Amino acid sequence: MMSPDSMDQYESILTKHNQSIEELARGKWLIKSGKKMVLHSLQNSTIRYKFYHSRVKRSRGYSKSSLSLIRSKNITAMYYNLEQVYEWIYFISEQYSDIVELIEIGKSIQNRSLLVLKIGYKSESNVTKKLFWYDAGIHAREWTTISAAMYTVDKIDRHLEVDDQFKISFQFKELIFVELFNI
């Protein structure tokens, strides 16, 4: 991620190494031999940069420190970066896989996955269920809505583990949470 001010300088580095921003977004050329040259050019420039690939954290497991922060009582008290929110989404979908389904509904303009958490029990018959839609992060600098959505999902999942009446109510409804809409 970088500021718009650095974009021209960044594009010139990519052009110098015969790469495009689209290729960078897909992560295809970073593992090739050009990685060291581009990294060297970035280090010698004034551009602030961070290489990020969403599947890296997922394949290596979860960082206990970030998950303990996210699962704490203060979930709404701090700002979570994109990587932390994605890590949390993958964690929740795996931790509560019997009631939470992770669905990719598309890609953003920046080629980031638009992920949805669908909470509810799978019905064995064609039962009509009420559907509730909760979206967060629609507008820039709306970090509190993202934290509020994370808090709500966390509370629902924890209640579904222990409260039988709450479980019964979810036989007839489903909740859709879009944690990050404008990414």
Q: Are 112 and 169 in contact (CB under 8 A)?
A: no
Q: Which strands make up the sheet holding 100-107, listed edge to edge?
A: 100-107, 113-119, 173-178, 130-135
Condensed to tens digits (0 to 9), the pLDDT of residues 54-75 reads 443 443 455 555 555 555 556 6
Same domain, 26 and 113: no
Residues 154 and 91 in one domain: yes
Inside any domain, residue 21: yes
Q: Which residues of 61-71 are buried (b: 16+ CB within 10 A; e: fewer)?
A: ebeeebbebbe
Segment 156-181, tens digit of pLDDT: 888 888 888 888 888 888 989 988 87
CATH number at residue 98: 3.40.630.10
123 domain-assigned: yes
Same domain, 73 and 158: yes
Determine the Cα–Cα distance for residues 168 and 170; give it in Å rounded to an integer: 5
Per the document, the length of the chain is 183
Would you give per-residue pLDDT tens digits along the chain (183 residues)? Answer: 455 666 666 666 666 666 655 555 444 444 444 555 666 666 666 666 555 444 434 434 555 555 555 555 566 667 778 888 888 889 888 888 888 999 998 888 888 888 999 998 877 777 778 889 998 888 877 778 888 888 888 888 888 888 888 888 888 889 899 888 776
Domain boundaries, position 17: 4-43
Q: 69 and 37 in one domain?
A: no
- Whether residue 154 sits in one domain with residue 100: yes
Q: How many domains does the chain have?
A: 2
Write down the mean pLDDT value for the chain. 73
